[in-house]
């Protein structure tokens, strides 16, 4: 099993290209099930989750071809993939495929909308809370679907097609917004989604669906309206840059000190994290090429934050921020309001010498003058990269075990950091 070895203490200087967003790429790939024409996605990141979803879509009959590298293409640029679901050959998404990645459950929306039937295993994914799918199913039921759960599978039927409906989510949910948005494109009549997720990845999906012929207004606001159409066509779309990857590297630079250009990063998707990083002590400027992050070695300052749906501080950057403020000059308070089990990195950060006290969903982080390298264990995707950030600033050697979590969401992380001066390498086996 691969491990990451880090020798801390080096400042980061240079540039890091930001990959396509995993959280946008997955629903965009699933949208290929909505049409019998070809959907071409550029800037698709090379990640374990993307590879897993390719296997799942292939099981449904989606043909995929990868475009060859082009002259002058950047070394770490994403791939271009052509997805064609000319015929849906199987409307079942089996447990052995879906259990490995929660987002694969989202195929239920397009399959039901296009074929009138879907049998999808209940999902798996990171162990960061229960994250039930009841809101997904209630939305589909409101659109006329019959839902049964048998033997760990959701069986959804809409033999006469889905009908437009008014759907009011009791809480903001990105996954259910994605599923409802995709299903509504082929429903009869208008669907209104209230208390919809406002995340940039939802906007990216809506923009792609509009290119495919969908009639959507309001994406990026809390009310989305979809006027159903009889069919969608193919299109070409480029996956948005990954705001979580960009925020992660911005925190790494703030932690170590240095000067790094995050190529392609978009400030409009990172407004709250940028505010927090400036509070901590980073200088961040927007350029034509992306975001420049700079810290000259001044003391890190403590912060007080709560995770919130967009445009608030994202839960997917909570672990990274916690690693950062372990070295702050003072006490920080971090409240996790999205998931109930997302502090599993705390015990591993403590192995570096961090002082963190938990009280339910609140973590109090007392800054320490130094961290010391240690062998640590990744517990989930975002927790694993928080250990990398701590290791970059710790004295001595850090070994991060179980890095398959990292490979789910960070493309060639060790390559991107090493080219900026970090002493980091992957140890295979």
Residues 6+ apart with CB under 8 A from 44: 20, 25, 29, 50, 78, 79, 80, 81, 239
- Residue 131 labeled ligand binder: yes
Output phi, psi for 352, to 5 deg.
-80, -10
Nearest CA-CA partner of 54 in 77, 26, 76: 26
In this structure, CATH architecture of domain 22-238 = Alpha-beta prism (3.65)
pLDDT at 71 over 60: no
User: Rounded distance, CA 26 to CA 33, Å?
Assistant: 12
- Residue 102 labeled ligand binder: yes
- Residue 135 labeled ligand binder: yes
- Residue 3 labeled ligand binder: no
CB-count exposure of residue 394 (10 Å: 0-12, 13-18, 19+): buried
pLDDT at 11 over 50: yes
Q: What angle do CA 294, 299, 322 make, to 5 degrees?
A: 80
Order of strands across the sheet that contains 12-17: 12-17, 258-263, 290-295, 283-286
Question: HSE (CB half, 13 Å, CA atoms) of 50?
Answer: 27
What's the pLDDT band for 128 if we cut at 50, 70, 90?
very low
pLDDT at 131 over 80: no
Per-residue pLDDT at 73:
57
Question: HSE (CB half, 13 Å, CA atoms) of 400?
Answer: 32
Out of 34, 113, 126, 176, pick the active-site residue: 126
Per-residue pLDDT at 130:
44
- Residue 266 labeled ligand binder: no
User: Rounded distance, CA 108 to CA 179, Å?
Assistant: 8
Nearest CA-CA partner of 385 in 417, 356, 338, 421: 417
Residues 6+ apart with CB under 8 A from 381: 126, 405, 406, 408, 409
> Is residue 126 among the annotated active site residues?
yes
Q: For 211-255, what is the HEC assignment?
A: HCCCEEECECECEEEEECCCCCCCEEEECCECHHHHHHHHHHHHH
pLDDT at 417 over 50: yes
- Residue 132 labeled ligand binder: yes
Query: Which residues partner with 117 through β-bridges?
Result: 157
Per-residue pLDDT at 129:
41
pLDDT at 367 over 60: yes
Q: Of 90-99, 188-197, 298-307, which gets the smallest average pLDDT?
A: 90-99
CB-count exposure of residue 211 (10 Å: 0-12, 13-18, 19+): middle
Q: Of 119-133, 139-153, 217-231, 258-272, which gets the smallest average pLDDT?
A: 119-133
- Residue 23 labeled ligand binder: yes
pLDDT tens, 94-123?
A: 988 888 788 889 999 999 999 999 999 987
- Residue 188 labeled ligand binder: no
Percentage above 70 pLDDT, the chain: 96
Domain boundaries for CATH 3.65.10.10 within the chain: 3-19+241-427, 22-238
User: Rounded distance, CA 295 to CA 258, Å?
Assistant: 6
Output phi, psi for 129, to 5 deg.
130, 165
pLDDT at 176 over 90: yes
Q: What angle do CA 364, 380, 98 make, to 5 degrees?
A: 140
Nearest CA-CA partner of 363 in 391, 323, 401, 394: 323
User: Rounded distance, CA 412 to CA 76, Å?
Assistant: 8
Instruction: Could you please state the CATH topology (level 3) that the domain comprising 3-19+241-427 is classified under.
Output: UDP-n-acetylglucosamine1-carboxyvinyl-transferase; Chain (3.65.10)
Question: HSE (CB half, 13 Å, CA atoms) of 250?
Answer: 35
Per-residue pLDDT at 429:
74
Q: Answer yes or no: are the C-beta atoms of 246 and 18 closer than 8 Å.
A: yes
Looking at every residue in the chain, the average pLDDT score rounds to: 93
Per-residue pLDDT at 67:
83
Instruction: Record the tokens describing residue 387, joined without a space.
Output: 């250990």
Average pLDDT value for residue range 25-44: 98
- Residue 134 labeled ligand binder: yes
Average pLDDT value for residue range 202-212: 98
Per-residue pLDDT at 69:
65
Per-residue pLDDT at 152:
87
Question: HSE (CB half, 13 Å, CA atoms) of 327?
Answer: 27
- Number of Cβ within a 10 Å radius of residue 345: 28
> Where are any strands of DSSP class E within 73-189?
79-84, 92-93, 117-121, 146-150, 153-157, 166-168
The residue count for the chain: 429
pLDDT at 72 over 70: no
- Residue 22 labeled ligand binder: yes
Enumerate the H helices of 162-199 as residue ranges: 174-184
Average pLDDT value for residue range 307-317: 96
User: Rounded distance, CA 211 to CA 32, Å?
Assistant: 12
Per-residue pLDDT at 1:
82
| Three-class SS state of 375 | strand
Nearest CA-CA partner of 397 in 420, 369, 423, 428: 423
């Amino acid at each position: 099993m691969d491990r990451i070895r880090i020798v801390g203490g080096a400042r980061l200087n240079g540039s890091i290209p930001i990959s396509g967003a995993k959280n946008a790429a997955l629903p965009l790939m699933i949208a290929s099930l909505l049409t019998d024409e070809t959907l071409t996605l550029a800037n698709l990141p090379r990640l374990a989750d993307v590879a897993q979803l390719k296997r799942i879509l292939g099981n449904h009959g989606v043909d995929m071809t990868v475009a060859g590298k082009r002259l002058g293409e950047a070394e770490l640029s994403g791939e271009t993939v052509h997805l064609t679901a000319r015929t849906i050959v199987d409307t079942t998404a089996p447990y052995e495929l879906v259990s490995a990645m929660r987002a694969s459950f989202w195929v239920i929306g397009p399959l039901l909308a296009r074929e009138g039937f879907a049998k999808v295993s209940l999902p798996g994914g990171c162990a960061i809370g229960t994250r039930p799918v009841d809101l997904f199913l209630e939305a589909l039921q409101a659109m006329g679907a019959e839902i049964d759960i048998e033997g760990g599978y959701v069986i959804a039927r809409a033999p006469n097609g889905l009908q437009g409906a008014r759907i009011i989510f009791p809480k903001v949910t990105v996954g259910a917004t994605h599923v409802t948005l995709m299903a509504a494109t082929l429903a009869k009549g208008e669907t209104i989604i209230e208390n919809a997720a406002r995340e940039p990845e939802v906007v990216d999906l809506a923009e792609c669906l509009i290119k495919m012929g969908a009639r959507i207004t309001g994406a990026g606001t809390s009310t989305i309206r979809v006027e159903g159409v009889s069919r969608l066509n193919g299109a070409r779309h480029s996956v948005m840059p990954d705001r979580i990857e960009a925020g992660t590297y911005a925190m790494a630079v703030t932690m170590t000190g240095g000067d790094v250009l995050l190529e392609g990063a978009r400030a409009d998707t990172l407004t709250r994290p940028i505010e927090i990083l400036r509070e901590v002590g980073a200088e961040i400027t927007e350029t034509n090429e992306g975001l420049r992050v700079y810290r000259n070695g001044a003391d890190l300052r403590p912060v007080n934050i709560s995770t919130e749906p967009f445009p608030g501080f994202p839960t997917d950057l909570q672990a990274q921020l916690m690693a950062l403020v372990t070295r702050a000059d003072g006490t920080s308070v971090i409240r996790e309001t999205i998931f109930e089990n997302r502090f599993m990195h705390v015990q591993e950060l403590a192995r570096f010498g961090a002082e963190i006290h938990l009280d339910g969903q609140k973590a109090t982080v007392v800054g320490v003058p130094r961290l010391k390298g240690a062998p640590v264990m990744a517990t989930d995707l975002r927790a694993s990269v928080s250990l990398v950030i701590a290791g970059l600033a710790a004295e001595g050697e850090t070994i991060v075990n179980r890095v398959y979590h990292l490979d789910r969401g960070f493309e060639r992380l060790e390559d991107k950091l090493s080219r900026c001066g970090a002493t980091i390498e992957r140890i295979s086996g």
